[in-house]
Structure 1
Amino acid sequence: MTLAEEILGRRSDNALINLRRADQFWSDLKEGKIDTPEVIRNSFNNLEKIEADIVICGGTLGILLGAALQQLGWQVTLIERGILKGREQEWNISRNELETFIELDLLTPVELKKAIVTEYNPARVGFDNGKDIWVEDVLNIGVDPVFLLDILKQKFLQSGGILLENTAFESATVHPNGVTIEANKKNITTRLLIDGMGHFSPIIKQARKGTKPEAVCVVVGSCAKGYPKNDTGDLIYSFTPIINHCQYFWEAFPAQDGRTTYMFTYLDANPERPSLEYFMSEYLRLLPKYQEVTLEQLEFQRFLFGFFPAYKNSPVSLPFDRILPVGDSAGGQSPVSFGGFGAMVRHLQRLTNGINSALNANSLSQKDLALLQPYQPNISVTWLFQQTMSVEIGKEVNPHQINNLMAGVFQVMERLGDRVLKPFLQDVIQFMPLAKTLPLVNPKLVLPLLPQIGIASLINWSIHYFNLALYSILYNAGKKLKPLTKNLSSSHQYYYQRWLDAWKYGSGGDYK
């Protein structure tokens, strides 16, 4: 009996059953058993009637965008396959990112304060045999998803939005002037379909045609009571060498009903990779040492597990007009992040403004909408970082290699100060901080990794690194040209602003 089976099997919330269900999905992905449904079709016939300006499929994070767009006066219909409600587990984020909700008039300052249920300082970054680094105000805010989604849901409905719960997306037909969506045998017509159904959206499966992800982040964890110390957090921490071709990293956050701890690792989808149940057993085996407790001391509130795929061909390019993927569906998150809430909030204002402009200019072709999910060099450069934190099956490496490198890099960033360290910890890569850091990293830590990385990856990374610098220059130049664009047509203004957004976000210029 595995440790996961022993502990999760006692529970009444089907934790073990749900873990094994997710494990089957993980096994299918490793084996390349990815179904490729044909859910999108094209028609040359115009629609006679269009009911909505926008239909958003996937409500958990779609409600953020739906509420913002409905407030701008567009008629939005939101489709959710279950009941639209937040999960019990908090979403951790940095306070400055939450200002987006006030800037978009989605929450008042009082409502935002109520949505925040935990706040702590400081947080630790540390690696085995290295120096612990402590930072403040990074991912130190815990937001209550139940409250947040409920208040956004009510505001969405009060402003005229239409919510269809227990309504699963089935298929869609793209017409020259709109889209017909079939959901629960009901047809809904719209000018624009937004796909917020996540990594394994049927629309994205069709677009990717069964391609396996180049990288995966596997995450297991729990929220539990009984920890003697619960006033600090960990952003990334490691205390073990490479085990079974995996480097285990840890996170920890104080929660309103205990302490949340995660163990995560970066790997590929090789069929020989372990199961989620194995990783959960490893988590439970190592948790006592990590938090200096015994399992018997803990009262587990819930268990958490999942895996997050990443594709180098991202954001995904859809071959359809009038369909826009957002959030995890677009695949635009960094391969070293989990995506989800934080990534959605970071791009919420950009997407809201961009979709509003696209509808006003009727710029809804595949080419037009692709500008809303552009290439971002600051995301692409992180693929090299992902490679340095993972080990291929069959490769024998120094078991302390990853810890030594990470400790060395973060010590350099700490010396350079918060302006370098904090953006990186929030998954924002900028050219100047990166250019300052890399020359100061001890070559003895980097050279052993070169055979693992390969010449092709280094050349590819160099291109993205050059583009990161170029985007920084283009963004600063593009801002100065803004007064000259006032007399452009709505279509030309749309293109100008989308390029400006691409340069801004692609260079990390959105960091507050």
Structure 2
Amino acid sequence: MAEVVPPPEALPASDAWWGSLRQRRRELPPTVVQQASQSLGSWEVDVVIAGGTLGIFLAAALAKRGWRVILLERGILRGREQEWNTSHQELQVLLELELLTPPEWEAVQVTHYPRGRIGFGEGPHWWVEGVLNVGVDPVSLLEFLKQHFLAWGGQVWEQTAFQSATVHPDGICLQTTKGQIRAQLLVDAMGHRSPIAAQARQGQPPDSVCLVVGSCAQGLPDQPTGDLFYSFTPAQNGYQPFWEAFPARDGRTTYLFTYCDRDPRRPSLEQLWRDYCRLLPAYQGVELAQIRWVRKLCGVFPAYRRSPLQLPWDRLLAVGDSSGSQSPLSFGGFGAMLRHLDRLQQGIHEALAQRQLNQAALALLQPYQPNLAVTWLFQKAMIPPLREKTWDPNSINRLLSRVFAAMVAAGPQVVQPFLQDVVQFGGLAQALWGVTRRDPSLVARLLPRLGLPELVEWAGHFGALGLFELLQRLTDRPELETDPQDYFWKRRREAWRYGCGQDYKLFP
């Protein structure tokens, strides 16, 4: 029997919330946003951003452009100790927008490793460079951003919680635990449990979740490489275990994660933690007694088919995890925030400057993205069926092995964007054709399990992905450049570009 290791401190509370989701009760959330017909009259600031961890990125960018910004944080604005993994390519935007100086940009990158592994079951392994290979220190990153934000005239209201908002024709009035604020625009960056997002979704529970447990620990064998997407066991206990591992400044980080629907028979976080402790010795080649635990981690990351979320009110915009703008295959929105930061800060700047703050105009800042929508079918394919007694628990590993064999064979221009949550039409078509050609019987067995309605819906998203790429190519010409004041045309072109993944540039 595996040694009993105390779980993360946050596990009971997170597990209780996950348990409530599996009970499938739909309760309407409290109303925190209301509308009023009378004018507000004046504003104290231009933008209020609720939620500091990811909100500080937009707050700093907007303050640098001269807008009056207040950032609300219900605790203290400070990054967690656990590193965020990203890449040089994704971090480059912080230099391009001059939110960090070059020495600061270098200083926040505390770990690097040369390549990451992909492998499933008994299939082959592949090594990929330039994906999640940089460990960023959130403590120093957020402190640098905070100090620049303050220097540019921004205000940080720490230990201040958002309570409610009233939308007026000419502004928005917020009630916080420290008083009232009047502004032109409210940006919701409060995360996936935002009360504003909950009201907008009318209590709709998530369509699926990604469950994560893990740790940063010492005493593990020294390995200079990482694991990006790895599995060495078949599906078990109602889920398929996947692993990630990264060198960290004070040890090695390892995650066990899985994708689940809300069936009550799916595992609890407590079950995942027990399995993590049981499987970790075989995964990392170390006995539990040799491990010195630096930090223990857990999380429940919900995903919604209706994403990104377009709020139904004027003067309100959801970003980051509140909006669900990251792929349902990823957990945590740091990478998505970096990818969309330039687009969002430019769009918000123009919306404020041109008074385009109604619901229709702001919805264009979180448009439909078919390259995210098509990934839902991949997630469903990685959730084991519970009612098929003859289902082979090794089939998910075999499917993924075939998929990545096809993508790797197509080249880094296909596999590398996919691993960074960017799906492109040509790469996806090559991967699907490669899987079908390599193992048609596996595909034939998978399709009935996915279901006809899901396949039809996916085909629509796949067609939209191709259409967006066509529109992007047709409009990406100098002669079609229009007046910089044409807010709506610029937002539509951005929607096509980002929606088909053509914003992504492959770096060596």
Could you say which TM-score interval applies, normalised by the shorter chain?
over 0.9
2:39 is aligned with 1:29: no
- 2:406–2:430: 8 Å Cα contact kept in structure 1? no
- Aligned AA (2:476): K
- Matched residues in 2 for 1:184 and 1:292: separation? 50
Q: Structure 1 residue 209: deviation in Å?
A: 1.5
Map 1:208-287 onto structure 2 (within 5 A). 208-287=201-280
Corresponding residue for residue 187 of structure 2: 194
Gapped regions of structure 2 (runs ≥ 5): none
Q: Structure 1 residue 339: deviation in Å?
A: 3.4
Corresponding residue for residue 471 of structure 1: 468
Q: Structure 1 residue 392: deviation in Å?
A: 3.5
Which of 462, 465, 490 lines up with 1:497 in the alignment?
Answer: 490
2:52 is aligned with 1:59: yes
Q: Structure 1 residue 3: deviation in Å?
A: 6.6
Query: What does the per-residue CA deviation read over 1:190-224, in whole Å, with 9 as the maximum and x for residues that have no partner?
Result: 00000000111000111111212111110110000
- Matched residues in 2 for 1:481 and 1:310: separation? 38
2:456 is aligned with 1:480: no
- Matched residues in 2 for 1:31 and 1:471: separation? 39
Secondary structure in structure 1 of the residue aligned to 2:52: coil
Secondary structure in structure 2 of the residue aligned to 1:216: strand
Q: 1:329 to 1:482 in 2, by over 3 A?
A: farther
Q: 1:447 to 1:168 in 2, by over 3 A?
A: same
Q: Structure 1 residue 246: deviation in Å?
A: 0.6
Q: 1:259 to 1:454 in 2, by over 3 A?
A: same
Q: Structure 1 residue 185: deviation in Å?
A: 4.9
Corresponding residue for residue 397 of structure 2: 403
Which of 456, 470, 485 lines up with 2:453 in the alignment?
Answer: 456
Secondary structure in structure 2 of the residue aligned to 1:221: strand
Which of 332, 350, 357 lines up with 1:357 in the alignment?
Answer: 350
Q: 1:43 to 1:458 in 2, by over 3 A?
A: same
Q: Structure 1 residue 484: deviation in Å?
A: 4.2
Which of 132, 136, 146 lines up with 2:139 in the alignment?
Answer: 146
Corresponding residue for residue 429 of structure 2: 435
- Matched residues in 2 for 1:484 and 1:380: separation? 29
- 1:268–1:392: 8 Å Cα contact kept in structure 2? no
Corresponding residue for residue 121 of structure 2: 128
In terms of mean alpha carbon deviation, does 227-236 or 477-486 score higher?
Answer: 477-486
- 1:90–1:144: 8 Å Cα contact kept in structure 2? yes
- Matched residues in 1 for 2:284 and 2:28: separation? 41
- Matched residues in 1 for 2:30 and 2:117: separation? 44
2:85 is aligned with 1:92: yes
- Matched residues in 2 for 1:378 and 1:236: separation? 20
Secondary structure in structure 1 of the residue aligned to 2:397: helix
Q: Structure 1 residue 8: deviation in Å?
A: 1.6
Across the two proteins, how many residue pairs are aligned to each other?
A: 500
- Matched residues in 1 for 2:77 and 2:386: separation? 40
- 1:179–1:190: 8 Å Cα contact kept in structure 2? yes
- 2:221–2:284: 8 Å Cα contact kept in structure 1? no
Map 1:334-349 onto structure 2 (within 5 A). 334-349=327-342
Q: Structure 1 residue 35: deviation in Å?
A: 5.4
The percentage of counterpart residues that share the same residue type is 52
Secondary structure in structure 2 of the residue aligned to 1:63: helix
- Matched residues in 2 for 1:186 and 1:271: separation? 42
2:75 is aligned with 1:82: yes
Corresponding residue for residue 12 of structure 1: none
- Matched residues in 1 for 2:461 and 2:126: separation? 29
- Aligned AA (2:92): E
Secondary structure in structure 2 of the residue aligned to 1:8: coil
Secondary structure in structure 2 of the residue aligned to 1:78: strand
Q: 1:3 to 1:162 in 2, by over 3 A?
A: farther
Secondary structure in structure 2 of the residue aligned to 1:414: helix
Corresponding residue for residue 418 of structure 1: 412
- Aligned AA (1:423): P
Q: 1:303 to 1:56 in 2, by over 3 A?
A: same
User: Once superposed, which parts of structure 1, at least 4 consecutive aligned residues long, lie more than 6 Å away?
Assistant: none
Q: Structure 1 residue 49: deviation in Å?
A: 2.2
- Matched residues in 1 for 2:49 and 2:103: separation? 28
Query: What does the per-residue CA deviation read over 1:434-457, in whole Å, with 9 as the maximum and x for residues that have no partner?
Result: 112211212122111112101111
Corresponding residue for residue 7 of structure 1: 5
Corresponding residue for residue 375 of structure 1: 368
Map 1:303-322 onto structure 2 (within 5 A). 303-322=296-315
- Aligned AA (2:291): L
Gapped regions of structure 1 (runs ≥ 5): 10-14
- Matched residues in 2 for 1:318 and 1:159: separation? 29
- 2:238–2:267: 8 Å Cα contact kept in structure 1? no
Corresponding residue for residue 329 of structure 1: 322
Q: 1:484 to 1:60 in 2, by over 3 A?
A: closer
- Aligned AA (1:8): P
- 2:228–2:243: 8 Å Cα contact kept in structure 1? yes
- Matched residues in 2 for 1:44 and 1:364: separation? 16
Q: Structure 1 residue 482: deviation in Å?
A: 5.9
- Matched residues in 2 for 1:341 and 1:347: separation? 10
TM-score (norm 2): 0.96
- 1:76–1:161: 8 Å Cα contact kept in structure 2? yes
Q: Structure 1 residue 466: deviation in Å?
A: 0.8
- 1:32–1:210: 8 Å Cα contact kept in structure 2? no
Which of 4, 9, 12 lines up with 1:20 in the alignment?
Answer: 12
Which of 136, 157, 164 lines up with 1:171 in the alignment?
Answer: 164
Corresponding residue for residue 288 of structure 1: 281
- 1:195–1:326: 8 Å Cα contact kept in structure 2? yes
- 1:267–1:392: 8 Å Cα contact kept in structure 2? no
- Matched residues in 2 for 1:372 and 1:352: separation? 10
- Matched residues in 2 for 1:66 and 1:270: separation? 39
Q: Structure 1 residue 280: deviation in Å?
A: 0.7
- 2:326–2:421: 8 Å Cα contact kept in structure 1? no
- Aligned AA (2:232): F
In terms of mean alpha carbon deviation, does 393-402 or 249-258 score higher?
Answer: 393-402
- Matched residues in 2 for 1:67 and 1:414: separation? 38
Secondary structure in structure 2 of the residue aligned to 1:427: coil
Q: Structure 1 residue 360: deviation in Å?
A: 1.0
- Aligned AA (2:360): K
- Aligned AA (2:444): L
Query: What does the per-residue CA deviation read over 1:364-384, in whole Å, with 9 as the maximum and x for residues that have no partner?
Result: 111111000000000010011
